[in-house]
Amino acid sequence: MLIAGNWKMYKGPADTAAFCTAFREHDVGAVDVVVCPPYVSLAIAVQLLAGTEIGVAAQSVHWEREGAYTGEVSAPMLRELGVYGTIVGHSERRQNFGETDESTARRARAALEDGLFVIACVGETEQEREAGETETVLRRQVTALGERDENLVVAYEPVWAIGTGKTATPELAQEAHALIKSVLDVPVLYGGSVKPENASELLAEPDVDGALVGGASLDVDSFAAICLAASP
């Protein structure tokens, strides 16, 4: 069971230091835990979580190892910092920065080839779900990722449930996760307004292998509670 916290554009180095110092002292149970701070806070997170079982991952990565790509960060740069992995293809990257199935797959492959662990995000919008296109969208997004890799996991994030307070029912999540696994045999996390109050029920579904947590991962106690809810 993997619980990953996506901090998005929150927590600079000072706030990250405070979080990591406090989080080290929390019981998170028998689960794998990863935090995903902004680029500027990765180094301090790696430093303060060294010697623990808590991994540090980035929120995106470029597909080239180096080059004239202003504002981008490569997999070798992340590895040099001591970063464990990266998210790719988050819906906010797709919606706000024009990322596509193709660019998500390129980022994922580059990161995997450089030895990073990858959480690749997929999910349908509210309009796509209402139009009955959920299966078509998920099959397309997952197929684009290519072959199975032992360092690849998929995060199912129904776009309509991200930051909205809406959450897919456990039954809907299970249905989507089973579909994704029928296309690509990898662990699948659920993301979309995961909170301590709903984590146990969502994570109890047989094909839900963990969670990609957004807002609830910004608070130490809240994130620790979700980790404990996932612990067997």
Residues labelled catalytic: 90, 157
Question: How many structural domains are present in the chain?
Answer: 1
Q: What is the pLDDT of residue 213?
A: 97
- CA–CA distance from 193 to each of 112, 170, 220 (Å)? 28, 13, 16
Residue with tokens 């990863």: 34
- Torsion (CA) 44, 46, 48, 53 in degrees, nearest 10: 160
Residue with tokens 């299966």: 135
Half-sphere exposure of 151 (CA within 13 A, CB side): 16
Q: Which letter does DSSP use for residue 44 in this model?
A: H
Tens of pLDDT, residue by residue over 81-121, are 999 999 999 999 999 999 999 999 999 999 999 999 999 99
Tens of pLDDT, residue by residue over 183-216, are 999 999 999 889 999 999 999 999 999 999 999 9
Residue 23 belongs to domain spanning: 2-230
Beta strand pairing status for 188-191 and 210-213?
Answer: parallel
Q: What is the pLDDT of residue 208?
A: 97
What pTM was estimated for this model as a whole?
0.95
Residue of 57, 179, 65 lying closest to 124 (CA atoms):
179
CATH number of the domain enclosing 132: 3.20.20.70
Number of other CB atoms surrounding residue 202 within 10 Å: 23
Q: What is the pLDDT of residue 16?
A: 98
Does pLDDT of 69 surpass 90?
Answer: yes
Tens of pLDDT, residue by residue over 141-167, are 999 999 999 999 999 999 887 767 777
Buried b (16+ CB within 10 A) or exposed e, 74-100: bbebbeebebbbbbbbbbbbbeeeebe
Q: What is the pLDDT of residue 126?
A: 87
